[in-house]
Structure 1
Amino acid sequence: MVKSINFLLLLSLLAFAPLCHCKKKIGGYLYPQFYDGSCPRAQEIVQSIVAKAVAKEPRMAASLLRLHFHDCFVKGCDASVLLDSSGTIISEKRSNPNRDSARGFEVIDEIKSALEKECPHTVSCADILALAARDSTVLTGGPSWGVPLGRRDSLGASISGSNNNIPAPNNTFQTILTKFKLKGLDIVDLVALSGSHTIGNSRCTSFRQRLYNQTGNGKADFTLDQVYAAELRTRCPRSGGDQNLFVLDFVTPIKFDNFYYKNLLANKGLLSSDEILLTKNKVSADLVKQYAENNDIFFEQFAKSMVKMGNITPLTGSRGEIRKNCRRINK
């Protein structure tokens, strides 16, 4: 009798076993096949619209990548960065890191509109951001990775979180590392994800102090190549020109590669937050040298770190919602 009960128990466990292993889950709840049944063309639609936007304006790739980063570092990867101000919600778009610089919202709107037509109320804005970041990387020559999916969208925003949690160009190395560690990321993730600065632009106001008064002594940052600094000063004066744009990687500004790290080794990193990866910490400096020497190692780690960042406290299950419009919560 006992043997027959045990046999029946074993049969019942085996019957349910395939249900437990049918899809590889990453980070507990997120997995790349999340929409395979509910919206099979989701990734294809995102990629198509991102490709069109980047072909029209190459800078858009960096903008979309940055949106995902600025989303995840606030309340987790929940599309809070996309919300406009309304009612009690104060938009993160008004924060210091985002004001006059965060962009690409219209591309996300276009993707969301297309997905709502294809499979209404199914694909979250948070997942759109994660997919658009991956596609932007690939379209500019960078690595690809399977994007874990299944995030849901937040019901609010945090302008204070946006102001305080996102690393700033003038933060010290330790402050930046602490901000990464508070999100479950480490020094390897910091150096690898900083490599996204191989594409995109920065404003004069983000690095002006390096050109004129880095330490309060009225002199340029000594870790910045002085010929390069003189060139930057021609379009970034002591006052005025705050919004003037400069490429972050002057060698291959619209190609995703490891020249960002090679530029750091030549003392030609644009932002203070870039150059301190080489000058303020031996572990990070060794990683900069490794990625400068080997593009494949950089690409492999960048992909791993992007998946890790994309797993920062996502809303899953019944938490949050699937917004119909990425700019506002559902009514």
Structure 2
Amino acid sequence: PQPVSYTHLDVYKRQPTYPPTSPPRTPQPPTSPPTSPPPTPQPPTSPPTSPPAAPDAGHQVKVGYYMGKCRGYVDVEAIVRKHVSQADAGIKAGLVRLFFHDCFVRGCDASVLLDPTSANPQPEKRGIPNFPSLRGFEVIDAAKAELEAACPGTVSCADIVAFAARDASSFLSYGWVNFAMPAGRYDGNVSLASETLPNLPPPFADATRLKQMFAAKGLDTADMVTLSGAHIIGRSHCSSFSGRLPPSNTSDMDPALGAKLKAGCASANGTDNTVMQDYKTPDEPDNQYYRNVLDHKVLFTSDAALNATDTINLVRLYVDMPWVWQYKFGEAMVKMGRVEVKTAAANGEIRKTCRFVNSKA
């Protein structure tokens, strides 16, 4: 395929919308901020062929959705942000991943939060890509409990997951990744572990498969490259990339990194160890991920796949202009947050507790 040009992205360096209340350190400003916005980008060469099931529903979410919906003064987003701020870096990284895993299976409907029941012993959270690695559930529970006490029956678990992912990105980046997250989602009532593997992009996927899976959710190749940048935060189980470690003769992984990872993954009792996604700026969403892609210092086959001819231009752009990635990451998170949104008329509800549908609450 012909490479896509990403040199004319419409990027504005915005002021933080939801800055952390107490950032660990003050970041230095970008060394070369853009002086004038480039022209509007051209549309992707390969538009999605399988749009989300309910494309109109995503347009019903909006920024400031909860303003005036609670009695008295209840700042819904501030309550979520407070609980996210109290989590450690690993849980914050988990909250970003939780949002992704929720949206890619049945849309952004908090179906990933549902616990096993006698009627449904295998919900999404028990799916192979989610169990036992998915984290952040307790943060969502705590925020939901406070919101139910202050404004009962109003704030969906799906919106809490979306707000928490936004806030976690902001805290981990020391305020440089900031964006307004639209809300108005309803919670789904179906959750099946069997739907996780077919919908969640696996770590061993090649570029073609990745583009197909993102397109099925209405996300284009640029969204795929941009959202992949979140792979720099958190930890990964060694089983997800063991096929790329020495003595593999098909892997393009940097030999020094391969040796380091092999040592970290070694286990006398067969434990599936975890390692950091990135050793240079762990738990900090930044453009180091894209440097790692170019240097062949990434864990997954799906990460290495971004060196393909039709994605490498955007990888290079993010290496050269980190503020572009910061802006586009927020944009892509918002776009992903519109995937297959539930409405009250389309099997949606506002759960009383995030772990059970209302009939089981």
Q: Would the TM-score normalized by the shorter structure come out above 0.5?
A: yes
How far apart, in 1, do the equivalents of 2:109 and 2:336 lie?
12
Q: Which residue of 2 aligns with 1:124?
A: 156
- Kept in 1, the 8 Å contact 2:265–2:272? The answer is no
Q: Secondary structure at the residue paired with 1:106?
A: helix
Q: Which residue of 1 aligns with 2:320?
A: 293
Work out whether 1:324 is the aligned partner of 2:355: no
Q: Secondary structure at the residue paired with 1:318?
A: coil
Q: Which residue of 1 aligns with 2:276?
A: 247
Q: Which residue of 2 aligns with 1:65?
A: 96
Q: Which residue of 2 aligns with 1:80?
A: 111
Of the three residues 321, 339, 361, the one matched with 1:312 is: 339
The change in CA–CA distance for 1:187 and 1:288 in structure 2 (over 3 A counts) is same
Work out whether 1:109 is the aligned partner of 2:137: no
Q: CA RMSD in A?
A: 1.7
How far apart, in 1, do the equivalents of 2:189 and 2:66 lie?
22
Q: Which residue of 2 aligns with 1:17?
A: none
The change in CA–CA distance for 1:173 and 1:91 in structure 2 (over 3 A counts) is same
How far apart, in 2, do the equivalents of 1:206 and 1:255 lie?
21
Spell out, residue by residue over 1:189-221, the C-alpha distance to the aligned partner (whole angstroms, 9 max, x if none): 000000011211111111111014xxxxx6254
Work out whether 1:98 is the aligned partner of 2:125: no
Of the three residues 272, 292, 298, the one matched with 2:301 is: 272
Q: Secondary structure at the residue paired with 2:94?
A: helix
- Kept in 2, the 8 Å contact 1:211–1:221? The answer is no
- Residues 135-154 of structure 1 aligned to structure 2 (within 5 Å): 135-141=167-173, 142-154=176-188
Q: 1:52 Cα deviation (Å)?
A: 0.7
More helix by share: 1
Q: Secondary structure at the residue paired with 2:354?
A: coil
Which 4+ stretches in 1 moved above 2 angstroms?
Answer: 25-28, 87-90, 218-222, 237-243
- Kept in 2, the 8 Å contact 1:209–1:220? The answer is no
Of the three residues 181, 186, 195, the one matched with 2:215 is: 181
Give 1:266's aligned amino acid: D
How far apart, in 1, do the equivalents of 2:86 and 2:178 lie?
18
- Kept in 2, the 8 Å contact 1:72–1:309? The answer is yes
Aligned length: 297
How far apart, in 1, do the equivalents of 2:325 and 2:198 lie?
28
Work out whether 1:200 is the aligned partner of 2:237: no
Of the three residues 230, 236, 257, the one matched with 2:286 is: 257
Task: Between 109-118 and 240-249, report the one with greater CA deviation.
Answer: 240-249
Q: Secondary structure at the residue paired with 1:85?
A: coil
- Kept in 2, the 8 Å contact 1:248–1:270? The answer is yes
How far apart, in 2, do the equivalents of 1:26 and 1:293 lie?
36
Gaps of 5+ in 2: 1-55
How far apart, in 2, do the equivalents of 1:158 and 1:239 lie?
34
How far apart, in 2, do the equivalents of 1:95 and 1:220 lie?
31
The change in CA–CA distance for 1:132 and 1:228 in structure 2 (over 3 A counts) is same
- Kept in 1, the 8 Å contact 2:207–2:306? The answer is yes
Q: Which residue of 1 aligns with 2:85?
A: 51
How far apart, in 2, do the equivalents of 1:144 and 1:104 lie?
20
The change in CA–CA distance for 1:73 and 1:262 in structure 2 (over 3 A counts) is same
Work out whether 1:163 is the aligned partner of 2:191: no
Spell out, residue by residue over 1:90-122, the C-alpha distance to the aligned partner (whole angstroms, 9 max, x if none): 311111100111111111111110111110111
Gaps of 5+ in 1: 1-24, 213-217
Q: Secondary structure at the residue paired with 1:282?
A: coil
Q: Secondary structure at the residue paired with 1:328?
A: coil
How far apart, in 2, do the equivalents of 1:28 and 1:317 lie?
14
Q: Which residue of 2 aligns with 1:12?
A: none
- Kept in 1, the 8 Å contact 2:57–2:341? The answer is no
Q: Secondary structure at the residue paired with 2:329?
A: helix
Larger Rg: 1
Percentage identity across paired residues of the two chains: 41
